[in-house]
Structure 1
Amino acid sequence: MRILITGSAGFVGSHLVERFLNEGHTVIGVDNYISGQVSNTDLFRDHPRFTFIEADVSHGIPYTGEKLDWVMHFASPASPPHYQQFPVETLMVGAQGTQNGLELAHAHGAGFFLASTSEVYGDPHVHPQPETYWGNVNPIGVRSCYDEAKRYAEAITMAYHRSRGVNTRIIRIFNTYGPRMRPDDGRVITNFVHQALRGEPLTVYGDGSQTRSFQYIDDLVEGISRLMMVKYHEPVNLGNPDEFTMIELASKTMNLVESKIDLVNLDLPADDPKQRRPDIGLAWKIIKWRPLKGIDSGLNRVFDEQKIKS
């Protein structure tokens, strides 16, 4: 297949590039490096079946090559520090960037694959969160630039499917971690690992009782690959249902280092969800998918990678 991936220099995007090249496909990567990393593009730059286009997909996707089989829209800042630094750009890539990707897919008769997020559920009143839950989102809060961009992206994706027949897929990605995350990503696993490696106190927001569930990148990529192969157009949760408090995650991180590490508590950020856990019953029903890697082995791999780099 010939697959165009927006956000190809990002954390998830670069792993998709790797997966599809290894499977023998041709990949066109598109990124403007607002949150992606040049080093992620450099991994594949010399590959004969990889082409890179540096562009802001909010302004258009300058692809004029052969017929595409898939357009996969993974471009967007995804961590709170990054999307709050670039709120307008985040809204635009979720809105205009998504439409540009849909138009390209429609013109090529290609499938369109949208990376949405568990953030569409906001601070949920339903736990765990199934795809049928409509969410509890503050539309004007500091996180809204990301939450509402993704909610709009889902809406326009379904509109193109219903009115123009585009063959669409939508995933709602729950917290994902693994190699190639930016050191300044700002999400909890990256923060904890880098703080532990530097011997600094681990930063816990609030009292640390809020929960998250964490899936390893390989599990997410496998779910994406499986969903491409079935005809299902509405959103599908991809995440690990194993749930941990931030205190529990901090304890697991501390176990990776030999020296004593302290905790420091800071104020809870505005609109920070109190709990987050996916209901993955639908993913099991339609693609027989569930995550295979637990938090302990995944944390070890991330810690070892960052230890080598530091």
Structure 2
Amino acid sequence: MRVLITGGAGFIGSHLAEACLERGDEVYIIDDLSTGSLDNIRALQNDDRFKNRLFVHIDTILNHNMMLELTGICDIVFHMAAAVGVRYILDNPLKSIKINVEGTEKVLSLCAKFRKKVLIASSSEVYGKHLHAPLVETDNIIYGPTSKFRWSYAASKLMDEFTALAYYRNRGLQVMIARLFNTVGPRQTGAYGMVIPRFVDQALKNKPLTVYGDGTQTRTFTYVKDVVRALTGLMDANDTAGEVFNVGGTEEITILDLARKIIRETGSASACELIPYEKAFAADFEDMQRRVPSIDKIRKAIGFEPKTGLDAILRHVINYHMSVTG
């Protein structure tokens, strides 16, 4: 199988590339390295087992000729490329909207042209400001005003979903959508606002763990290898096209309790420091108070269950950070 992974040098994309190579696929990666890194795939490029099956192109998905060639030669497409991270979105709002909306439409158009099966990576952000849990794929969407640029990312990913489903209904494109809930694991950076790598880095340096807001907001976290199993399972299934699936963990925790847990797990001398949102971000920032998925739909579709609990996730991330920092 020839597999195209957009954003394949990113955190999740690199793990997905590794899994596809391990099962014998030929993997083509396109990534502009805006948030991805060649370091994420260096080991794959240097692995003799993969040298004739891994092809890396440093380019934007907005390059029509490059995407035309890659989509044409591949059998399936995992569209992982996107502007990611709260910090990156707020700092680059126009670029984020353009790459998410225009880039996804280009991928869908080319997949429809060549009749290629495609998975679109979406985000739990699309649910917006819900307070209830668990979140179900058919829930209504609740956003803040357009003056709050926090919601531009959510709205762009929602438009990606609408566009994908339109291609399914009007063009018969075999496309499925995975809404990812806080994927975590080795290779993830905290530079763009991801909370666990940021907390772990601060704890290992005995610096204060900066908790935004009052810390009562809750999240669940999913280990990246579990997410990869879900993505490949959805792609391999015969009856997932035209559907949206939550992909997430089930252990809900407040961000303040998460910080305290990481301090304990690392044996750090750090303390927790509450930072008001208006100090941490621009004045147009809003947060989601609660984000917990229902995974009943994906469980019924492909038998997916997250295998890695939060404690094990934290150990993996802590060990990774210790290994790369010495």
Q: TM-score range by the shorter chain?
A: over 0.9
2:217 corresponds to which of 197, 202, 210: 210
Q: How far apart, CA to CA, are the structure 2 residues paired with 1:52 and 1:16? A: 14
Code of the aligned partner of 2:274: N
**Closer, same or farther: CA 17–283 of 1 in aligned 2, 3 Å:** same
Does the aligned pair in 2 maintain the 1:125–1:136 contact within 8 Å? no
1:252 corresponds to which of 249, 261, 278: 261
1:49 corresponds to which of 53, 63, 83: 53
Does the aligned pair in 2 maintain the 1:139–1:148 contact within 8 Å? no
2:317 corresponds to which of 292, 298, 302: 302
Pairing of 1:280-299 with structure 2 (within 5 A): 280-299=295-314
Code of the aligned partner of 1:292: K
Q: Is 2:270 the counterpart of 1:261?
A: yes
Q: Is 2:12 the counterpart of 1:3?
A: no
Partner residue, 2:154 = 147
Give the drift of 1:61. Answer: 5.7
Partner residue, 1:81 = 87
Pairing of 1:28-43 with structure 2 (within 5 A): 28-43=28-43
Give a deviation string over 1:165-215, Cα, whole Å, max 9, x none: 110010000011001112423221011100001110111112211100001
The TM-score, its normalising length taken from structure 1, stands at 0.96
**Closer, same or farther: CA 229–259 of 1 in aligned 2, 3 Å:** closer
Give a deviation string over 1:252-298, Cα, whole Å, max 9, x none: 10112334221111113522011110011101111111101011111
Does the aligned pair in 2 maintain the 1:61–1:100 contact within 8 Å? no
Partner residue, 2:22 = 22
Code of the aligned partner of 1:35: T
Aligned to 2:73, the other structure's residue is in SS state coil
Aligned to 2:179, the other structure's residue is in SS state strand
- Bigger Cα displacement from structure 2, 21-30 vs 89-98: 89-98
Aligned to 1:43, the other structure's residue is in SS state helix
Q: How far apart, CA to CA, are the structure 2 residues paired with 1:277 and 1:60? A: 37
RMSD of the alignment, in Å? 1.5
Give the drift of 1:139. Answer: 5.1
Partner residue, 1:156 = 163
Does the aligned pair in 1 maintain the 2:246–2:294 contact within 8 Å? yes
**Closer, same or farther: CA 45–243 of 1 in aligned 2, 3 Å:** same
Q: How far apart, CA to CA, are the structure 2 residues paired with 1:75 and 1:61? A: 17
Q: How far apart, CA to CA, are the structure 1 residues paired with 2:273 and 2:88? A: 23
Q: How far apart, CA to CA, are the structure 1 residues paired with 2:309 and 2:65? A: 37
Pairing of 1:192-211 with structure 2 (within 5 A): 192-211=199-218
Give a deviation string over 1:205-226, Cα, whole Å, max 9, x none: 1221110000110110111111
Partner residue, 2:139 = 133
Q: How far apart, CA to CA, are the structure 2 residues paired with 1:288 and 1:86? A: 38
- Bigger Cα displacement from structure 2, 234-243 vs 96-105: 96-105
Give the drift of 1:117. Answer: 0.3
Partner residue, 2:232 = 225
Structure 2: which 5+ runs fail to align?
Answer: none
Q: Is 2:123 the counterpart of 1:117?
A: yes
Q: How far apart, CA to CA, are the structure 2 residues paired with 1:91 and 1:109? A: 26
Give the drift of 1:247. Answer: 1.7
The TM-score, its normalising length taken from structure 2, stands at 0.91
Q: Is 2:111 the counterpart of 1:102?
A: no
Q: Is 2:183 the counterpart of 1:176?
A: yes
**Closer, same or farther: CA 48–130 of 1 in aligned 2, 3 Å:** same
| Bigger helix fraction | 2
Provide the identity percentage: 33
Does the aligned pair in 1 maintain the 2:186–2:317 contact within 8 Å? yes
**Closer, same or farther: CA 234–201 of 1 in aligned 2, 3 Å:** same
